[in-house]
A and B are shown apart, each in its own frame.
Chain A
Amino acid sequence: MAGSRKVLDVAGVSKRFGDLEVLSDISFQVEKGETICVLGPSGSGKSTLLRCINWLERPDAGQIYLNGAQIGVSGGLVMSDRELSRIRTHIGMVFQHFALWPHLTVLQNLMEAPVHVQKRPKAEVRDEALALLAKVGLSDKRDAFPAKLSGGQKQRVGIARALAMRPDLLLFDEPTSALDPELVGEVLVVMRELAREGMTMVIVTHEMGFAREAATRVLFLDRGRVVETGAPEQFFSNPETERARQFLQRYAGDAVNGRRGA
């Protein structure tokens, strides 16, 4: 099993909002330690896909398995909120607009869910949270409130907060899209480090340079379908589909120069 354990299995997931089919029959798997970058034009369903994985959105069809256990459905019935919550503690999430808890300090943001949801001992959680803050370079901000931080700092707190849950899987929903360009780098540095350490991640992003360099695999979505999937090197230098070629052309500057991903 070692080295090729399946963490996430998405099987035939579909989702519609009214008449709009946002996701149609999406299937893919993520092995332990993989970094999957989900790419695609706006409105292609990338964020919805991510939100379906932890059932923030309820898929209309298909199954999702985390470490072999189905999410959202047990014994043919939709799970209770409590059961869902228990599974969600194994999946960390990083949000586009940070979504930090504004009434708590940085350190408290990291400790809140491990202490109150996972019921882990406070002292242990605190030590781990302090280590995580050091890791994302924000030890000096531990007593600051989120409102006093820059966007890049907020997102690094967002990542540390997700890591504090000791998740089996980390989801990133366009983690750098709300940032000023000069703040993107500091967040990508942290993400690249996690990829190197073998954290299992699914990342929705428009940072082509980052995807090319850090992803183990890319998933290209268009109009709710997986149009292409493969190793980043192959996808970026020699995409199989016309749709992917067009998409990449618009980002050509970024991908070639690695401008924003530097």
Chain B
Amino acid sequence: MIHDFGIVWSERDLLLSGLGNTTILSVLSAAAALLTGFALTPALMSKQPLLGGIARGFVDGMRCVPFLLFAYIVYYGLPSFGIRLDNWTSGLVALTIYNAAYMAEILRGAWAAQPREPIEAGVAFGFSHLGLFRHIVLPPLLLAAGPVIGNQMIQIVKDSAFLTIIALPELTHAASSIQSRHYVPFAAFITAVFLYWGLCLVIEAGVSSVERLAAARR
């Protein structure tokens, strides 16, 4: 068994590049999903029935699709419509769109729970448009939604493992190459598990610092 881990150690460059790719994938798609979620949130809260209905349909629909299936559709299905994306683009697009639905729903909930008066005070004090959003609306929203957004980021890290099926060289893909090359499944996969865990601990640390900021303001 020790010998198996020795083999994994000898392939550390492959694992680390997988970890790097998983990190890049997760960070990029989490940021893009959060931004897309922000763009979707006003539509989700819109009183206009058509816009609200479309946004609601997308969010509810997306949350009921298994991610693996969605990744298949983006990579293997879209070419039938003439849209051919390479595996990196497919992976990023799938992770982003899928998680944007969750982010939008998280932000909608946090937004709806925000007290109206401080925002109105912002308007009364001359804030408008982007300035109002950036200085008055956004900071308390992020403090309130931070922990749940953190959870969703952990979900994104884990979902990214599915992208091994479209041959994206991320961490799971690296671990499974090592095991198939050397027949060390336990050592290879458990090492990957610990690396995922480490990544999640970093996110958790971020979440607790947001929580500390929020607690000081409650």
Please report A residues at the B interface, Cβ cutoff 8 Å.
Answer: 54, 56, 81-82, 84-86, 88-89, 91, 93, 95, 97-104, 112-113, 116-118, 145-147, 161, 165
Contact = CB atoms under 8 A, between A and B. Distances in A.
Instruction: List the 3 closest pairs (A to B, CB-CB), nearest first.
Output: A99-B117, A99-B121, A89-B126
A97 B125 contact: no
A251 to B, nearest CB: 27
B135 A112 contact: yes
Contacts of B131: 116-117
A83 to B, nearest CB: 10
A24 B121 CA distance: 26
A97 B124 CA distance: 14
Given A84-B128, A112-B125, 7 more contacts: A82-B128, A88-B124, A101-B121, A101-B122, A103-B143, A117-B126, A118-B126
Interface in B123-154: 123-129, 131, 135-136, 139-140, 143
Contacts of B218: 147
Contacts of A95: 117, 120-121
Contacts of A93: 121, 124-125
A88 B122 contact: no
27 contacts: A56-B123, A85-B123, A85-B128, A86-B126, A88-B123, A88-B125, A93-B121, A93-B125, A95-B117, A95-B120, A99-B120, A100-B118, A101-B118, A101-B122, A101-B136, A101-B140, A102-B118, A102-B217, A103-B139, A103-B140, A103-B143, A103-B217, A113-B126, A116-B131, A116-B135, A117-B126, A165-B125
A33 to B, nearest CB: 22
B215 to A, nearest CB: 10
A116 B139 contact: no
Interface string B80-109: 000000000000000000000000000000
Contacts of B124: 54, 56, 88, 91, 93
Contact of B126 (A88, A97, A104, A161): A88
B69 interface: no
Contacts of A91: 124
Contact of A145 (B127, B128, B217): B217
Contact of A82 (B129, B140, B217): B129
Contacts of A102: 118, 140, 217
Contacts of B143: 103
Contacts of A84: 128
Nearest to B141: A103
Nearest to A87: B126
A86 B127 CA distance: 9
Nearest to A112: B135
Residue picked from B117, B118, B124, B216, most chain A C-beta under 10 Å = B124
A95 B139 CA distance: 21
A26 to B, nearest CB: 20
